[in-house]
Chains A and B, each alone.
Chain A
Amino acid sequence: MSTIMLPMALLLAAAMIGAALVAIRGDSVPIAMLAAGLVSLLASVLFLLLAAPDVAMTEAAIGSGLTTFLFFFVLGRVRGDSKHD
């Protein structure tokens, strides 16, 4: 890993830990979901730095794209049901 890549990777890792803490400790559910998506997005950039573009693509499309919106779908359904009652 070259000299520019190492600080970048460390920065990404620190940002991932920060986003993960927001996802676990935060009060708001939507913000926690977005933070979990952010962890996946940063992980995909990290995979790209580690020369694994195939894994990075999967992580970006499924981990941060589809999963985040799946959470929002389910959140919308749960909230819609509780409003009916």
Chain B
Amino acid sequence: MIKRFTVLLLLAGVGTLFAGLLLGYSPDGELNATARYYADHTAPDIGAANIVTAIIVTYRGLDTLGEVTVLFLTAAIVGLVLARGRRRTRTEQRELPPSGELLTTGSRLLVPLILLLGVYVFVNGHLTPGGGFQGGAILASAILLMLLTDPLRRFSHRLISALESTSGLVFVGIGLLGVFFAGGFLDNRILPIGNLGSLFSAGVIPVIYSFIGLKVGAEFSSMLVSLSETEDS
């Protein structure tokens, strides 16, 4: 009874809080000072058509490095916990129902297209919505589709970890190059800015975002692969 009363009281409190916010809300007629700064300065300074990407990779590049590190830690911990479990081998595999004809044939068609879409999303991160994180997640979903089709399929852990660590090192290395050849850590102007809107523009942003995409894709894939490989932990 008391529990139910507390829940109702909490709900009423949250309700009044949100009602107050909603009633006091009026949409902004124009951009505020911070948004105005980024909207005005992104195209001439950074040269990226997508302002969100310019903020993520250059203005707030250090935050992105932190995010990538958190994701790396997560993947490492998942791998560490699952490595203690017994490896599933082909002989002691419990009987799995065969994945249907539709899934097998469909994935043969879809996996290359999904990989292509993922690469497109992170290579064009400075022009169109999306970027390294989104593209990496799309790459990992192609790996997921392959695992759904054949749960016994094995991926090379050596390849995944080499890809992951190389991308991370290149990301930090490009950031350090910015200290020496441009304005500071992760400054994108170590390459020419180029024409706004063309593929080779915005300095080093497409390079950094491609490596972030590969890194994120490798991390998600390693999580999925280790989950699928261990029998029990």
* Contacts from A to B (Cβ < 8 Å): 53-54, 56-58, 61-62, 65-66, 69-70, 73-74, 77, 80-81, 83-84
Q: List residues 31-84 of chain B with CB under 8 A from any CB of chain A.
A: 50, 52-53
- The residue in chain B whose Cβ has the minimal distance to the Cβ of A83 is B94
B23 to chain A, nearest CB (A): 17
User: A81 to B86, alpha carbons, bound, how many Å?
Assistant: 12
Q: List residues 199-224 of chain B with CB under 8 A from any CB of chain A.
A: 220, 224
User: A84 to B94, alpha carbons, bound, how many Å?
Assistant: 10
Q: Which of B53, B131, B134, B148 has the most CB of A within 10 A?
A: B134
Chain B interface helix/strand/loop/mixed: helix
Select B141's contact among A66, A77, A80, beta carbons within 8 Å: A66
A52 to chain B, nearest CB (A): 8
B77 to chain A, nearest CB (A): 15
Given A53-B130, A80-B94, the answer on whether A62 and B137 have CB atoms closer than 8 Å is: yes
Count of A-B contacts judged by CB separation below 8 Å: 46
Q: Which residues of A contact B131 (CB under 8 A)?
A: 54
Tell me if B121 is interfacial: C-beta within 8 Å of chain A. yes
User: A69 to B141, alpha carbons, bound, how many Å?
Assistant: 10
A68 to chain B, nearest CB (A): 10
User: A62 to B140, alpha carbons, bound, how many Å?
Assistant: 10
User: A58 to B125, alpha carbons, bound, how many Å?
Assistant: 13
> Contact: B227 with A57, CB < 8 Å?
no
Q: Which residues of B contact A83 (CB under 8 A)?
A: 94
- The residue in chain A whose Cβ has the minimal distance to the Cβ of B51 is A54
* Contacts from B to A (Cβ < 8 Å): 50, 52-53, 94, 121, 129-131, 133-134, 137-138, 140-141, 144, 148, 220, 224, 227-228, 231-232
- The residue in chain B whose Cβ has the minimal distance to the Cβ of A59 is B134
A32 to chain B, nearest CB (A): 20
User: A26 to B148, alpha carbons, bound, how many Å?
Assistant: 26
User: A69 to B129, alpha carbons, bound, how many Å?
Assistant: 25
> Contact: A61 with B137, CB < 8 Å?
yes
B137 to chain A, nearest CB (A): 4
> Contact: A77 with B121, CB < 8 Å?
no
> Contact: B129 with A53, CB < 8 Å?
yes
B152 to chain A, nearest CB (A): 14
Given A66-B141, A77-B232, A80-B94, the answer on whether A58 and B133 have CB atoms closer than 8 Å is: yes
A45 to chain B, nearest CB (A): 14
B153 to chain A, nearest CB (A): 14
